[in-house]
Homo-oligomer: A and B are copies of this chain.
Amino acid sequence: MTSDSSRSAPHPTVKRIPAYLAVLKELEEAGQVTVSTTDVARRLSLNPIQVRKDLALTGIAGRPKIGYVTAELIAGIYDFLGWQNTKDAVLVGAGALGTALLGYKGFSGYGLRITAAFDAGKRLIGKNIHGRVVQPMDELESFIKETNVRIGIITVPPEAAQEVAYQFVRAGIRGIWNFSPEKLAVPDQVVVQNEDLSAGLALLSVKLSEKLGTTPV
């Protein structure tokens, strides 16, 4: 055991891991049996030392001069992220964004399967979206309890988000993937991951202004 397992993994590192996974999968498909961090770093415009340190978290060791066994590293990353066992999730809010997520093929590669969709709007209930029939909100809590699902996805308008979060928590959801711009109040034992478009757009705006020389003040 190389790393101190009591310290939790640094967030910046965790966020880079999926990019490593994508590159490694590509290289594996191209028949590359071993891979060096120099190579991975170059493909992602990163520092090789950083890549090495990040990948050390998986517990997979490389060999000097040789590098890492591609397949071993891929398996190590799946283990690290817990993506080797597919986890079920429920989605609430079957609007445009919810529909997009329900139709997204890539989640199977990320160990996620959205098993059910719910919505408050009568117009959407009963509609089949990419193989899942939209269910009414008053069935949400019993569904979560019965199927023991632990991940909830929120794609409702901001004013409805907190109420959905309350229902999630009451029913036993432990991880919330929040696509609404609303900050959610949840108890300590529940984790929230916010996907905030406005933060990304703010960064794009500022980087763009800097690049264009139009200091935005």
A-to-B contact residues, CB < 8 Å: 5, 8-9, 11, 14-19, 21-22, 43-45, 59, 79-83, 87, 95-97, 99-100, 103-104, 106-107, 110-112, 150-151, 174-175, 177, 181, 183, 189-191, 193, 195-212, 214-217
List the number of copies, as a whole number: 2
CB-defined contacts of A21 to chain B, threshold 8 Å: 198
CA–CA, A31 and B26, complex, Å: 55
Other than the known A19-B199, A96-B96, A97-B100, what 11 A-B pairs have Cβ atoms closer than 8 Å? A14-B203, A18-B201, A43-B183, A79-B216, A80-B216, A81-B206, A97-B104, A110-B198, A177-B201, A193-B200, A195-B197
A193 engages B197 (CB within 8 Å): no
A-B contact pairs, 21 of them (CB 8 A): A8-B210, A14-B199, A14-B203, A16-B199, A18-B181, A19-B183, A21-B198, A22-B198, A44-B183, A59-B217, A79-B216, A81-B202, A82-B205, A83-B205, A95-B103, A96-B99, A106-B181, A151-B204, A175-B211, A177-B201, A195-B197
CA–CA, A210 and B10, complex, Å: 12
Q: A203-B11, A208-B191 are in contact. Are A82 and B214 (CB under 8 A)?
A: yes
A200 engages B195 (CB within 8 Å): yes
CA–CA, A189 and B43, complex, Å: 20
CA–CA, A190 and B211, complex, Å: 8
